[in-house]
Structure formats: structure tokens, C-alpha cells
């Protein structure tokens, strides 16, 4: 396969080439033009830039990652078709994307022994044995970097409960899930609603709004009618821009909390004052403007891309970098322990986790990638969830994101870290 450098919002047309002796074939599935491209482009760039950096830096010794980036436009049938082609070409690992396609491929990657690092954090991917009380099936070859959608939502519900108590309110607060009727926004619905109820919330009926942006005034008026105190936004960033703007116009006072893909710097710039005060779950220990040794490495990675290191990179770019690095260090381990096969790469995930007592951070990425760990009985890599609040203090239209972070117009503030219990009944759910 051809090693590619991802160009933003451009579908990759890749021609297969003969692999060299030390080439390690990797598939890279991305949404650059589909319904989730508003976050998919930045995440895919993080993956591709990191794999190019790994090759140019010699981090893997004599080996190189021979990867192909394919834009499947968030269409599950295309993902499955590409998977079949990649397996016929001998890929040993895949960087994947969406929930519907990742869940559809669980049995395939298990059968073919191909570690699948998705950008879907569905709880259904976390039980490698399929034996947990609420698990639906075994997912022994599925990995992701970050808290599961269910756990991130639980963390936000716990933050909301603490926030409610800190404000001294003397009535029961109301919690509502908002999202499309689709596998991705539905993934944490039941699990998180149950935990919110356990905490003491009155859990309201879910409010449906589409992954595609639209006029969501009716949903915002419903929020006012049911007097929701906290609303979990389960959709992606692009859809949530429209939701925040609609609700701003409707004078909604509900506190919005957003999933890891649901709110970022681009949403803040696009929604302006309507995005002020939204609380979100974050996967990394840094944002682009932070200064630490790990971010120095990330900027080195970005510097080699067509956009260069000066362009602001969104939260999802950093998450893509970390996902690629956990895979890369598992591959390093595999190369030293029998070769880079799918079975050995999976073993490398467990070995590196154990060697770091479940708090594995890729070398050189301290302060960026949060300590994570996976075992052969539990693929919940992260149970410690950083909570941030977005701040918008001035006009954003037509302005550069980097400039707005520099002058304080935009800010992302770390306000809490929720340490979740590793409950057995939450595995696979």
C-alpha cells in the first residue's frame, strides 16, 4: 500500500504498491466528506500525521507503517467493503472511525485477529470476553483511546450532580439525553440514564435531533417546557453548532454537557456566545495552546504536515495522535516479541499496559496522552475523565481560532476530573 499524507477534506485515492520486507501494512478508515467530517478531518489528520512522523523519525527502527487512508464518508457498507480488501492484502491493524461500522466489524476483526483502534468509544467494545452481565458480545480485538461513551456520560452526570449540590438547590434536578436515533448518540443512552437516576436525577424522556445540522427550535422549546436542568448533547460538533444557536435564540437556560465529539474549538468559533459555558468530557491532558514536553512532540508531528505547526489543531487532532501512538508502541513491542502480527500487537497492548501498571503513556507524549491501560479481560482503557468548560467572551465571526485563544476570547478550562469506579456491570455497556 502507499504511505499517505492526509489532505484535509480530500478523499484519498490510493494505489497499492509492493510492500517492502519491513513494511507493516495498516488500514486507516476516515470520514473526510460524510456526516461526521466536522470532527473526522481533524482526527484523521492526527492519525496520518503521526504515522508519517513515525516513519520519518525512525521511531520503529527499520520498520515503517505502510498505511492507506480511505475516506468512507461515514457509510458502514463502504467500511465493510474496505475491510475485506484490506484483509486480503494482509493488514495487521486498522485505525477505524464510526460506531455503526466498528460494531458491525466486531466479529470480523476477532475472527481475523486484527486489532481495530476505533474513534468509536461505544461501551459495547470494552468486553473482550463477552461475559459481563450487560455485555452483548465479546470484542477481543477492539481498542480505543479514551473513556467509553457510557463512562464519559456517567462522568458528566456525576459532575452535574456535584454542580447542582454545590449551588445549594433544594429540589430534584432534571437530566435529559439529546441526540439522533443512531448507534453513535444512542450508545450511552441507557447506561448513562441509569447512572443519572442512581445519582438522584429525574431522568426525562430523550429529545431527538438529527446528526445533520438544522433548525432545532422545536427541541429547544421542549427543553424550556420540561424545565431540564442538564442536557447531554450526544451528537457531533457540526450538529451541536445548530443546536446551540437554536437554543440561544430560544433563550434556553439549560446547562449543556457534551460528549467528547460534541463540542470543540470549532464549535466555539461557529456558535460564539451561544457556546459559552458548555461543559464537556475530554480525552487528553492538553489542548493545542498548552506548553509541555508532550506538546513539543505533537507540534513536531504537525510541523511536517502541509498545514504546518502554526495552524491551530482541535481536540480531536490530539486524540488521533494518541490513538496512533498506542498502536505504534504495541507494534514496537510486537516487533521485539515474534513480529508484527495482529496477535502480537494485541499482546503488546496488554504487555505495555501491565509494564506501566495500567498507567501507560507513550514515550514522549507525557502531558498529552492520558495514562491508559487494557487487559485481556477489560478493554476500558480510561476511567479517569477530565471535565472542561468552554468560555466565549467576545465576537468570533471571521476570526482565527489561534488568535482568539491567544487573546482570551476563547478558552477551555479544566474544572474537574471524575474518577469512575471500574464496576463489573459497566463492562461492555
Per-residue model confidence as pLDDT tens for the chain (429 residues): 333 444 333 333 333 334 444 899 999 999 999 999 999 999 999 999 999 999 999 999 999 999 999 999 999 999 999 999 999 999 999 999 999 999 999 999 999 999 999 999 999 999 999 999 999 899 999 999 999 999 999 999 999 999 999 999 889 999 999 999 999 999 999 999 999 999 999 999 999 999 999 999 999 999 999 999 999 999 999 999 999 999 999 999 999 999 999 999 999 999 999 999 999 999 999 999 999 999 999 999 999 998 888 899 999 999 999 999 999 999 999 999 999 999 999 999 999 999 999 999 999 999 999 999 999 999 999 999 999 999 999 999 999 999 999 999 999 999 999 999 999 999 999
Where b means 16+ CB within 10 Å and e means fewer, 316-328 reads: bbbbbbbbbbbbb
C-alpha cell, 174: 432534571
Q: CB within 8 A of 277, min separation 6: which ones?
A: 255, 256, 389, 390, 391
Asked if residue 213 lies in contact with residue 239, where contact means CB atoms within 8 angstroms, the answer is: yes
- CA dist 160 and 4 (Å) reads 43
Residues 337 and 344 sit within 8 Å (Cβ to Cβ): yes
| Residue 71, CB-side half-sphere exposure with 13 Å CA sphere | 21
CB 204 within 8 A of CB 227: no
Strands 116-117 and 93-95: parallel
CA distance 306 to 420: 40
CA distances to 50, 146, 170, 178 from 319, in Å = 11, 8, 39, 24
Please list the alpha-helical segments (H only) found in 120-271.
149-166, 183-186, 189-199, 217-226, 237-249, 265-271
Mapped onto helix, strand or coil, the DSSP state of residue 21 is coil
**Which cell is 43 given?**
482526527
pLDDT value at residue 8: 35
Exposure class string for 269-285: b at 16+ Cβ within 10 A, else e: bbbbebbbebbbbbbbb
Long-range contacts of 303-309 (CB under 8 A, 24+ apart): 304/49, 304/52, 304/53, 304/56, 305/5, 305/6, 305/45, 305/49, 305/52, 306/5, 306/7, 307/8, 307/45
pLDDT for the residue numbered 22: 82
pLDDT value of position 306: 87
pLDDT for residue 321 = 98
Element (H, E) at 94: strand 93-95
Say how many C-beta atoms besides its own lie within 10 A of residue 418's C-beta.
Answer: 20
pLDDT of residue 310: 87
Distance from C-alpha of 385 to C-alpha of 316, rounded to nearest angstrom: 16
- Grid look-up 512522523 returns 53
Q: Are 74 and 8 in contact (CB under 8 A)?
A: no
Beta-bridged to residue 70, according to DSSP, are: 29
* Domains along the chain with CATH numbers: 23-147+287-355 (3.40.50.2300), 149-286+384-426 (3.40.50.2300)
Cell of 277: 459555558
H or E segment and range at residue 178: strand 174-179
Hey, which residues does 178 pair with through a beta bridge? Answer: 207, 233
Positive/negative CA dihedral, 356, 156, 104, 70: negative
19 DSSP 8-state letter: P
CA distance 235 to 237: 7
Amino acid at each position: 500500500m502507499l504511505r499517505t499524507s492526509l489532505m484535509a477534506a480530500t478523499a484519498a485515492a490510493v494505489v497499492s504498491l509492493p510492500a517492502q520486507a519491513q513494511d507493516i501494512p495498516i488500514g486507516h478508515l476516515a470520514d473526510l466528506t460524510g456526516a461526521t467530517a466536522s470532527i473526522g478531518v481533524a482526527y484523521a489528520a492526527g492519525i496520518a500525521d503521526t504515522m508519517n512522523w513515525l516513519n520519518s523519525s525512525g521511531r520503529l527502527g527499520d520498520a515503517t507503517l505502510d498505511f492507506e487512508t480511505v475516506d468512507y464518508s461515514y457509510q458502514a457498507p463502504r467500511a465493510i467493503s474496505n475491510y475485506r480488501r484490506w484483509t486480503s492484502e494482509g493488514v495487521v491493524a486498522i485505525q477505524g472511525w464510526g460506531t455503526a461500522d466498528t460494531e458491525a466489524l466486531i466479529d470480523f476483526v476477532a475472527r481475523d485477529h486484527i486489532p481495530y483502534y476505533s474513534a468509536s468509544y461505544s461501551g459495547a467494545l470494552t468486553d473482550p470476553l463477552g461475559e459481563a452481565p450487560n455485555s452483548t458480545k465479546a470484542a477481543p480485538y477492539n481498542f480505543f483511546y479514551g473513556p467509553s461513551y457510557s463512562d464519559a456520560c456517567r462522568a458528566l452526570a456525576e459532575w452535574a450532580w456535584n454542580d447542582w449540590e454545590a449551588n445549594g438547590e433544594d429540589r430534584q434536578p432534571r437530566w435529559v439525553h439529546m441526540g439522533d436515533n443512531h448507534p453513535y448518540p444512542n450508545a450511552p443512552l441507557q447506561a448513562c440514564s441509569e447512572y443519572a437516576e442512581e445519582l438522584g436525577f429525574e431522568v426525562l424522556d430523550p429529545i431527538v435531533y438529527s446528526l445533520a445540522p438544522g433548525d432545532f427550535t422545536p427541541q429547544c422549546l421542549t427543553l424550556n417546557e420540561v424545565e431540564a436542568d442538564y442536557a447531554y448533547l450526544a451528537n457531533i460538533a457540526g450538529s451541536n453548532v445548530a443546536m446551540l444557536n437554536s437554543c440561544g435564540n430560544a433563550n434556553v437556560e439549560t446547562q449543556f454537557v457534551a460528549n467528547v465529539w460534541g463540542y470543540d474549538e470549532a464549535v466555539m468559533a461557529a456558535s460564539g456566545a451561544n457556546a459559552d459555558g458548555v461543559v464537556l468530557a475530554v480525552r487528553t491532558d492538553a489542548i493545542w495552546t498548552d506548553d509541555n514536553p508532550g506538546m513539543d512532540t505533537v507540534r513536531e508531528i504537525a510541523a511536517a504536515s502541509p498545514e504546518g505547526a502554526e495552524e491551530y489543531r482541535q481536540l480531536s487532532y490530539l486524540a488521533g495522535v494518541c490513538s496512533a501512538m498506542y498502536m505504534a508502541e504495541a507494534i514496537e513491542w510486537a516487533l521485539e516479541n515474534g513480529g508484527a502480527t495482529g496477535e502480537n500487537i494485541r499482546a503488546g497492548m496488554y504487555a505495555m499496559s501491565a509494564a506501566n501498571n495500567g498507567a501507560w503513556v507513550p514515550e514522549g507524549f507525557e502531558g498529552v496522552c492520558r495514562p491508559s491501560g487494557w487487559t485481556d479481560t477489560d478493554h476500558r482503557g480510561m476511567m479517569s475523565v477530565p471535565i472542561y468548560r468552554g468560555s466565549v467572551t467576545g465576537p468570533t465571526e471571521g476570526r482565527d481560532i489561534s488568535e482568539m485563544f491567544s487573546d482570551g476570547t476563547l478558552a477551555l478550562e479544566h474544572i474537574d476530573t471524575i474518577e469512575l469506579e471500574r464496576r463489573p456491570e459497566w463492562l461492555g455497556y
